[in-house]
Amino acid sequence: MRFAYSQVENLNEAEMCVYNYIVKNLKHILNLSVRELADEVHVSTATVMRFCKKMGYSGFSELKYKIKEFYEQQDQADNYEINDIDGFVEHIKSNDYLDRLKKAADLIKGADTFQILGLGVCRDIAKYTAQRFCRAGFYCYGIDDVNYPILEVPEGAHSVILIIYNHFYQKVIFDQINKYKSKNYTIIMISLANIGKFNQLCDLTIYASNGIMKVGQVESAGAFCITCGIDGMRCDNL
């Protein structure tokens, strides 16, 4: 879990003590109350709460929630297994998979605006993939914040949002799909495997490994699909 330098540089001496203690004892923080943390750092509870506010959290409870979320996502990302590498390679060479990639490429090629949404452990995938599209000559923005403003697509325009499915954020992604649909976006979903009713909500769904590759409980399909699929088409063919 990281804090931005722009946040840390504004801390006073007492708040800096809180920061140093938290960074060194992240897991231990989960078991503490705000009073217990204040006692261990030898500061007031007001100092702890002020620190939380400066870090962008509503209070100590939200900070603990974010720390817990960080460890859950880290465990999921580390707990990967490849059940059948040959089956995976066969899947990404299948006609269905390649056809879906071609459809995605056509949608992106014809888009006036193009964005990629990735939440949790998928946020870096979204940012990295957006950079690759930009280098290929297609302006693309990687979104990792559900509060990012969604503009109405003007009549006659065509905007595409590519969403990297993350099971951990299922409900949030459902809400985001509905928001983008209401603004007339074309929605492409990248998933590790079949995502049930989500298929009916999206204009196109791409299964990165058909369930053969598992990355913990997180559907981090984007890594495989983008690097093995759209990137395999080299983006410049879009």
Last residue of a domain, one of 54, 78, 102: 78
Q: How far apart are CA 71 and CA 68, in angstroms?
A: 5
Domain range holding 167?
82-230
Tell me which of 215 and 42 has the higher pLDDT.
42
Are residues 164 and 223 located together in one domain of the fold? yes
46/15 Cα distance (integer angstroms): 10
* Total number of domains constituting the chain: 2
Q: What is the mean pLDDT of residues 153-169?
A: 88
Q: Looking up tokens 């990687």, which residue turns up? A: 142
Higher pLDDT, 4 or 123: 123
In a domain, 236, yes or no: no
Burial of 98 (0-12, 13-18, 19+ CB in 10 A): middle
User: Quick one: 98 and 188 in the same domain?
Assistant: yes
Q: Check residue 226 and give its pLDDT.
A: 45
Portion of the chain with pLDDT greater than 90, in percent: 31
Confirm whether 235 is domain-assigned.
no
- For residues 126 and 201, state if they share a domain: yes
154 secondary structure, DSSP code: P
Q: Please report which confidence band the pLDDT of residue 180 belongs to, taking 50, 70 and 90 as the band edges.
A: very high
pLDDT at 79: 47
Task: Report pLDDT digits (tens) over 114-159.
Answer: 999 998 878 888 888 888 888 877 889 999 988 888 988 988 899 9
C-alpha separations of 235 from 81, 132, 169, 227 in Å:
28, 8, 28, 10
Q: What is the CATH number of the domain that holds 151?
A: 3.40.50.10490
Query: How much is the pLDDT for 151?
Result: 87
Residue 188 is predicted with a pLDDT of 93
pTM above 0.85, yes or no: no
